[in-house]
Amino acid sequence: MHAFRFAVQSFSAPNATVWRERARQAEALGYSALHLADHLIGPGPALDATRHPVQELAAVPAMAVAAEVTTTLRVGCRVFCQDYRHPVMLAKEAATLDLLSGGRLELGLGAGWLRGEYEALGLRFDPAPLRIERLAETVAVVKAHLRGEALSFSGKHWKVSGFSGVPKPVQNPLPLMIGGGGRQILSLAAREADIVSLNFNNRSGVLGPDGVQLSTAAETQRKIDWVRAAAGARFDALELEIGAYFTFVGPNGADAAEGLGRALGLTREQMLDHPHALFGEVTAVCDRLRERRERFGIHYVTVPDTALNAFAPVVAKLAGS
């Protein structure tokens, strides 16, 4: 059984002082990693239509700063959108971050899902099967680059040749996270990733009840079954990670679950049992996490930065156990 580890994911930081302090605080509180997401557009009607929060900081420089002001904290992105960068550019940035951080990068990759952001940027939003097919090629190019191989790749989406990847990352291999909520993307993650990030099925292209309803306990079990089937013998070595986006540590957890469930079209019981949610006092949350590890094998949990301090006693009790 894998030991627990915990990360925090951050979207907003109004200035450099706040961001540096958040990284230092996450490390001091025992979190394993500090993650960002990979969204580019700022406030306005395009983002409003997606229901997604504003991400103020660009992921790569923010990760570099967080690594610079800490010594053990891992840095990462849940997850880089493959369509926003050429895979060689992404691989070179990843290798550089790992080198300069002394081997503390977790590289997360995803197929892209926020339709309104693509449209605002003038990018073509291909059907999911095509985006995932392209991600498979991206993974192949990135892995070859990180190994320092002479690159010679000719696929449907990417063609690179005639050079070797530099610099060499400290970690060999560098841990790769792939995240998603559908069978095709999770099967790719099962075959290629070290960390499988279980996420909403964002088939609608926006945040909302549809994705949350497709991520209940029953749906999460289906996702893990897909991962197990595709991973084969490597399943036991995989880390299963999940974002506990709805984390409320404190009294009146059941009331909070009921109110949130009502807004999302779920019952209080479904919300309390939802793998992307945690409600209640510290002891109850610890018990819930142990039960989910036993039930699903999920042992790597990421909480939002709004829960950084409230969730810290859970980290203190469970991290490494």
Here the CATH number for the domain that contains residue 107 is 3.20.20.30
Binning pLDDT at 50, 70 and 90, where does residue 214 land?
confident
Q: Is the pLDDT of residue 29 over 60?
A: yes
> Taking the model in full, what pTM does it have?
0.96
For the chain, first and last CA: distance in Å?
10
**E strand or H helix at 108:** strand 105-110
Per the structure block, which two tokens stand in for 254?
A: 């059941």
> How many CB atoms are located within 10 Å of the residue 251 CB?
10
Q: In this model, does residue 208 exceed pLDDT 80?
A: no
Span 161-177, pLDDT tens digits: 999 999 999 999 999 99
- At residue 11, the pLDDT reads 85
pLDDT at residue 291 above 70?
yes
Q: Name the residue range of residue 79's domain.
A: 5-318
How far is residue 139 from each of residues 118, 125, 160, 279, 296, measured CA to CA in Å? 21, 19, 13, 36, 26
In the predicted structure, residue 204 carries a pLDDT above the cut 80:
no
Q: Is the pLDDT of residue 205 over 70?
A: no
Q: Specify whether the CB–CB gap between 201 and 179 falls below 8 A.
A: no
Question: Given phi > 0 = left and psi -120 to 50 = alpha, else beta, which region is 168?
Answer: beta
pLDDT for position 93:
98
Instruction: Give the number of domains in the chain.
Output: 1
